[in-house]
Amino acid sequence: MTVQLTFWSAIGSFVLGVLLAAMRVSPVPLLRGFAGTWVNVIRNIPLTLIIIVMAQVIANQLGVRLAQREAGVNPQVFLDNQNFRLAVVGFIIYTSTFVCEAVRAGINTVPPGQAEAARAIGLKFTQVLGIVVLPQAVRAVIAPLGSVLIALTKNTTVASAIGVAEVALLMNTLIENEADKLTAVFIVVAAGFIVLTLPTGLFFGWLAKRKAVRR
Amino acid sequence: MRLRMITTAIAGAAAAALALTACGGGGSTAAPGTTSATTAAQSSTSAAASGSDGATSSAGDTGGSAAAGDSKVLSDAASGKLVVGIKFDQPGLGLKNPDGSFSGFDVEVAKYVGQKLGVDPANIEFKESKSAEREGLIERGEVDYIVATYSITDTRKEKVNFAGPYFVAAQDLLVQDSNTDITGPDSLNGKILCSVTGSTPAQKVKDQYSADAALQEFGTYTECVEALRNGAVDAVTTDNVILAGYAAQSPGLKVVGQGFSTENYGIGLQKGDTAGTEAINAALNAMIADGSWEKALQDTVGASGFTLPAPPTPGA
């Protein structure tokens, strides 16, 4: 479940993050202002709070349903889907702000001459960004994006706050039932995360080296 | 070359993990040694303590003064100060009020026991002890004893000593007032049941009564109660006396009242502290005998309309 959470949240936050970055550098003041406010507000809210708000306010108070509850069927499936999707949306909202800032840093590494040249041959803003600037920018920030992904993997433990069956929830259950093996449980969970994140870091390091734009 | 770098990194990580394990093991073996050293140093004072305790409560005499020499509770009580673990977030049982004072039945029991051990209630320091942390707090000696809806179980007995029970609770369900189709643990099929992360009661309902119930877990009972109020879950389960506190706090909710299972609340203290256990049992018996047990229960839990049970027999 930890891996699934990470996977869907990573895809979602990459897409939303790049979109936010594009808005932050766009020539439209309204978009710039919106994206700026969004990023600065969201990334300064604790993740636990965002996740709990997703469940308590968005789902419970406002009645937003992200899964279908069928009458007469065991609601466990509904509940699991609902919580999982709420958690993924929460992670996307949170992590996309960090992706956005990483990508924006990447955009700054692209020499202004590139964008000027692209504009000179008559490309529109979306084309300048999509064809010329972003491909170079993303290649420059592969390593920082790897850090964001590692942080996201570890952050998924917060989803236990709304009952998503990931590692931290399993750990709590184990601790409650086998109170005498506390240290062992902690060490196993920690080792599990190292197994998950260490290869991620090595892979992104290797990829960053391979894909770097040589100037 | 690159492959070598990777293997080095993995080897480094393995070494770090090993070092971590070694530290953990070393820490846990060192802990009892330190404790026994301190208790040995205090044994002279605690010998005096057991003597003075004999006057206030009839405990200690039967346990023998040799055992009392190892008792952390009794030696700390003799020095006039106690640290007691309670819950901070359970209305009616253990609650930290906005003004910093503490109220609830567990608090009253803790104070009474402290008084019987010869400590002025003003000198009792209350420390928050969350469910998962209780054994650790006792083992590390950070608290003298814990009165925090602490159910006596066999696995827990392997790590701590229990005095009591001072209260017998039963698992129950909290539902909305208007709800009539949930009458007990058997009628939860197709319903959503809420409990806190890592707790056993909800799992027990699923395993033994309604296999088709869905389980929602939140971090705290307050979140569960909130979800119940706006209909996101159908029932909340835990011990009836805890639920009664929430029902009293938020109108529109009721306890179903078909207590199933038996939870014996005990007072946890350090493993092997026989003299301390007996002293606390004696204090609990005195509390029940002189009527202050019932009065404390009436003043704290009784306000919620909870049907007060008969007192248990501590030390039985």
Span A107-116, pLDDT tens digits: 998 998 988 9
pLDDT recorded at residue B4:
54
pLDDT recorded at residue A175:
77
Closest among B272, B277, B267 to B85, alpha carbons compared: B267
Indicate whether B178 pLDDT > 70.
yes
Residues B152 and B194 in one domain: no
Question: Cβ of A36 under 8 Å from any chain B Cβ?
Answer: no
Cross-chain CB nearest to B13 (options A72, A79, A198): A198
Domain assignment present for residue B16? The answer is no
Q: Give residues with Cβ within 8 angstroms of A147, minimum separation 6.
A: A201
Q: What pTM was computed for the model?
A: 0.69
* Number of domains within chain B: 2
Q: Determine the Cα–Cα distance for residues A102 and B118; give it in Å rounded to an integer.
A: 63
Rounded to a whole number of angstroms, the distance from the CA of A163 to the nearest CA of chain B is 4
Q: Determine the Cα–Cα distance for residues B241 and B265; give it in Å rounded to an integer.
A: 11
Q: How confident is the model at residue B22 (pLDDT cuts 50, 70, 90)?
A: very low
Domain assignment present for residue B41? The answer is no
- The secondary structure of chain B, three-state, reads CHHHHHHHHHHHHHHHHHHHHHHHHHHHHHHHHHHHHHHHHHHHHHHHHHHHHHHHCCCCCCCCHHHHCCCHHHHHHHCCCEEEEECCEECCCEEECCCCCEECHHHHHHHHHHHHCCCCHHHEEEEECCHHHHHHHHHCCCCCEEEEEEECCHHHHCCEEEEEEEEEEEEEEEEECCCCCCCCHHHCCCCEEEEECCCCHHHHHHHHCCCCCEEEEECCHHHHHHHHHCCCCCEEEEEHHHHHHHHHHCCCEEECCCCEEEEEEEEEEECCCHHHHHHHHHHHHHHHHCCHHHHHHHHHCHHHCCCCCCCCCCCC
Domain assignment present for residue B45? The answer is no
Question: Cβ of A198 under 8 Å from any chain B Cβ?
Answer: yes
Residues B90 and B209 in one domain: no
Q: Give residues with Cβ within 8 angstroms of B181, minimum separation 6.
A: B187
Interface test with A, best of B203, B217, B222, B223 (most A CBs within 10 A): B217
pLDDT recorded at residue A32:
92
Q: Which residues of A touch B223 (CB under 8 A)?
A: 52, 55-56
Question: What average pLDDT score do residues A70-80 get?
Answer: 76
**Whole-number percent of chain A with pLDDT over 70:** 97
Interface test with B, best of A56, A66, A86 (most B CBs within 10 A): A56
A159-168, B92-101, B149-158, B278-287: lowest mean pLDDT where?
Answer: A159-168
Rounded to a whole number of angstroms, the distance from the CA of A16 to the nearest CA of chain B is 28
Q: Which two tokens stand for residue B295?
A: 């009065």
Q: What is the CATH number of the domain that holds B217?
A: 3.40.190.10
pLDDT recorded at residue B37:
42
Residues B224 and B153 in one domain: no
In chain A, which among 127-166 make CB contacts under 8 A with chain B?
160-163
Q: Which two tokens stand for residue B161?
A: 């000593």
Cross-chain CB nearest to A74 (options B13, B25, B214): B214
Rounded to a whole number of angstroms, the distance from the CA of A193 to the nearest CA of chain B is 12
Residues B154 and B201 in one domain: no
B273, B47 Cβ separation under 8 angstroms: no
Q: Which residues of A touch B2 (CB under 8 A)?
A: 206
Domain assignment present for residue B187? The answer is yes
Residues B135 and B159 in one domain: yes
Indicate whether B46 pLDDT > 80.
no
In chain A, which among 110-129 make CB contacts under 8 A with chain B?
none
Question: Cβ of A177 under 8 Å from any chain B Cβ?
Answer: yes
B217 contacts A163? CB cut-off 8 A: yes
| Mean pLDDT value across chain A | 88
B214 contacts A75? CB cut-off 8 A: yes
A85-94, B22-31, B78-87, B229-238: lowest mean pLDDT where?
Answer: B22-31
pLDDT in tens, A19-51: 999 999 888 999 999 999 999 999 999 999 999
Domain assignment present for residue B137? The answer is yes
The domain boundary, picked from B247, B262, B277, lies at B262
pLDDT recorded at residue B198:
66
Q: Which residues of B touch A56 (CB under 8 A)?
A: 223, 226-227
Residues B219 and B234 in one domain: yes
Look at B150 and B2; give whichever has higher pLDDT. Answer: B150
Residues B272 and B136 in one domain: yes
Instruction: Kindly provide the ipTM of the predicted complex, given to two decimals.
Output: 0.71
Q: Which residues of B touch A72 (CB under 8 A)?
A: 190
pLDDT recorded at residue B316:
65
pLDDT recorded at residue A81:
85
Indicate whether A79 pLDDT > 90.
no
Cross-chain CB nearest to A74 (options B135, B190, B198): B190
Residues B274 and B189 in one domain: no
Question: What average pLDDT score do residues A178-191 get?
Answer: 84
A178 contacts B17? CB cut-off 8 A: no
**Whole-number percent of chain B with pLDDT over 90:** 18
pLDDT in tens, B207-261: 888 778 888 888 788 888 888 988 888 899 888 888 888 888 888 888 887 788 8
Q: Determine the Cα–Cα distance for residues A136 and A107; give it in Å rounded to an integer.
A: 8
Q: Determine the Cα–Cα distance for residues B241 and A104; give it in Å rounded to an integer.
A: 55
Q: How confident is the model at residue B298 (pLDDT cuts 50, 70, 90)?
A: confident
Cross-chain CB nearest to A180 (options B9, B155, B192): B155
Domain of B162? 72-167+264-302
Indicate whether B27 pLDDT > 90.
no
Residues B160 and B78 in one domain: yes
| Three-class secondary structure of residue A70 per DSSP | coil
Q: Which residues of B touch A198 (CB under 8 A)?
A: 9-10, 13
Q: Say how many Å lie between the first and final Cα of chain B, rounded.
A: 70
Residues B96 and B239 in one domain: no
Indicate whether B148 pLDDT > 80.
yes
Question: Cβ of A59 under 8 Å from any chain B Cβ?
Answer: yes
Domain assignment present for residue B151? The answer is yes
A172 contacts B226? CB cut-off 8 A: no
Q: Which two tokens stand for residue B12?
A: 């480094």
Rounded to a whole number of angstroms, the distance from the CA of A176 to the nearest CA of chain B is 6
- CA nearest B223 in A: which residue? A56
A52 contacts B219? CB cut-off 8 A: yes
- Amino acid identity for residue A210 in this structure: R
Residues B258 and B277 in one domain: no
Q: Determine the Cα–Cα distance for residues B313 and B316; give it in Å rounded to an integer.
A: 6
Domain assignment present for residue B224? The answer is yes
pLDDT recorded at residue A56:
84
Look at B34 and B305; give whichever has higher pLDDT. Answer: B305
pLDDT in tens, B56-80: 444 434 433 444 457 888 888 888 8
Domain assignment present for residue B289? The answer is yes
B74, B274 Cβ separation under 8 angstroms: no
Residues B160 and B176 in one domain: no
- CA nearest A72 in B: which residue? B190
Rounded to a whole number of angstroms, the distance from the CA of A71 to the nearest CA of chain B is 8
- Helix axes of B274-289 and B105-116: crossing angle, nearest 10 degrees: 110
Question: What average pLDDT score do residues A57-83 get?
Answer: 78
